[in-house]
Amino acid sequence: MQEVQNAMEKFAKLVETEFKRVEKMGEKMEFTDFKALEKIIIGIVPGDGIGPIIIEQAERVLKVLLGDEITSGRVELRKIEGLTIENRAALLQSVPEDVLQEIKKCHVVLKGPTMTPRASDPWPNLPSANATLRRELDLFANVRPVTMPEKGIDWTFYRENIEGAYIWGSKGIQVNKDIAVDFVVETRQGSERIAKAAFEFAKNNNKSNVTVVTKANIVKLSDGNFIHACKRVAEDYPGIQMVEKLVDVTAAKLADPEFNKGLQVFVLPNLYGDIITDIAAELQGGLGTAGAANIGTKYAVFEAIHGTAPFLIENNRGDYADPSSVLRAAAMLLSHVGYLEQSAKLVRALDICGFEEKKIVITSFREDASTAQYADYVLETLAKL
């Protein structure tokens, strides 16, 4: 059948691209040494929807925390425009080439949320800007910390960020009007490097276990190979226990103290990591309470884990969006580039403002604090620390 032949030819071309990617992953992993840099360039990318609003406040906070470094020229905050749905749609590019080149001139980026068009949206069916950035910058590790001290929970999630069900998310094959096929991609190199990142974090932070979450009882090859890769890596870390969990059970029981007792570090394939980390963030207090880091050997992008909140924009409440998630992402950025004291101060200020003192609250409603007012509160708290 011609339909089958066409599908096979398209599949063959997709697989060919993976051989090139695997070859590149075989190169030695050497992370950027920020202490050796004469200047650290931090890109500021506003994004869509509430993105520019919350990013503006995060930039204010960074300018205060890094004031001396910015004045001396050791750090530069560089605004990068153009990663908007309007510009992307006009150019039919998920990340416009000129924007990508500007991002590549930065060492790290603080990014607002970007819109990914759905089938019902009036925009072209563009791939996710986030997924494109992860591939172009090889940001293979999505790292999300979730802490609930009152419950004794201090989790860190390492989600594989490139492969899995998302790598060819816009490249599935419509065989005919009745049959559509999407793909899951797993490579030994991709699985081993995310596992190594998780186990290295566990070793360096005195953690005793790493939990691998899959559906390997059903998805035999890609999930099974992911577990095998984690087991190979675990052999190099004899003091750290590797625990195996199924993704459906983890989603259902993550909040159960009997289930989560003692769990510390998680490593997951892409799709499962996306889902489980959102559940974990919701348990912590909502998507607005957590930030995310997307880390590669050369580049890193830090962002809020929520979306563009079109409902707030449509109802003229964008100026009341909660900036907590992107501020926590900013704290992660500071830690990543070596400003540990400033990072710790920001985390402490956010905990005071959001969980302890709560002198003002932000709910996205006009009767409560605006985005700028909440940032003022965080800055006032920082000044006291």
Of the pLDDT bands very low, low, confident and very high (cuts 50, 70, 90), residue 28 is low
Tens of pLDDT, residues 268-283: 999 999 999 999 989 9
Q: How many residues make up the chain in this entry? A: 385
Determine the pLDDT at residue 6: 84
Q: Which single residue is written with the structure tokens 């940001």? A: 139
- Rounded mean pLDDT, 130-143: 93
- Predicted confidence at residue 23, as pLDDT, reads 82
Q: What is the pTM of this model?
A: 0.85
**Contact at 8 Å (CB) between 301 and 197?**
no
Two tokens at 113? 């949320």
DSSP single-letter state for residue 96 = -
User: How far apart, in Å, are the Cα atoms of 318 and each of 79, 229, 312, 340?
Assistant: 21, 44, 5, 31
**pLDDT tens sequence across 251-262:** 999 999 999 999
SS3 309: coil
Q: Encoding tokens for residue 372?
A: 């700028």
DSSP 8-state assignment for residue 163? S
> Running DSSP on this structure, what letter comes out for residue 164?
B
Write down the pLDDT at residue 288.
Answer: 67
Two structure tokens written together for 167: 């790598």
In the predicted structure, residue 350 carries a pLDDT above the cut 70:
yes
* Residue 269: CB atoms within 10 Å: 29
**Above 80 in pLDDT, residue 29?**
no
Topology of domain 31-139+296-384 in CATH is: Isopropylmalate Dehydrogenase (3.40.718)
Let me know if 275 is exposed, middle or buried by CB neighbors in 10 A (0-12, 13-18, 19+).
Answer: middle
| pLDDT for the residue numbered 31 | 82
Query: What's at 12, amino acid-wise?
Result: A
pLDDT in tens, 283-292: 987 766 788 9
Which whole number is the average pLDDT over 15-32? 79
pLDDT tops 70 at residue 155? yes
**pLDDT for 287:** 67
pLDDT of 165 over the 70 cut: yes
Residues 152-165 have a mean pLDDT of 93
Average of pLDDT values for 374-384?
Answer: 98
Domain residue ranges in the chain: 31-139+296-384
* Higher-confidence position of 181 and 234: 234
pLDDT on residue 183: 82
pLDDT at position 357: 95
Query: 363-372 burial, b if ≥16 CB within 10 A, otherwise e?
Result: ebeeeebbbe
**What's the rounded mean pLDDT across residues 20-43?**
86
- Predicted local distance difference test score (pLDDT) of residue 164: 87
**Alpha carbon distance 239, 204 (integer Å):** 12
Rg over CA atoms, the chain? 21
CA–CA distances in Å: residue 232 to residues 25, 266, 346: 17, 16, 37
Q: Give percent above pLDDT 90 in the chain.
A: 77
Residue 213 has pLDDT above 90, yes or no: yes
Mean pLDDT value across the chain? 93
Answer whether residue 10 shows pLDDT above 70: yes
> DSSP state, 185?
B
Cα–Cα–Cα angle for 334, 336, 340, rounded to 5 degrees: 55
d(CA 260, CA 146): 13
CA–CA distance, 133 with 136 (Å, rounded to integer): 5
Which pLDDT score is estimated for 309? 95
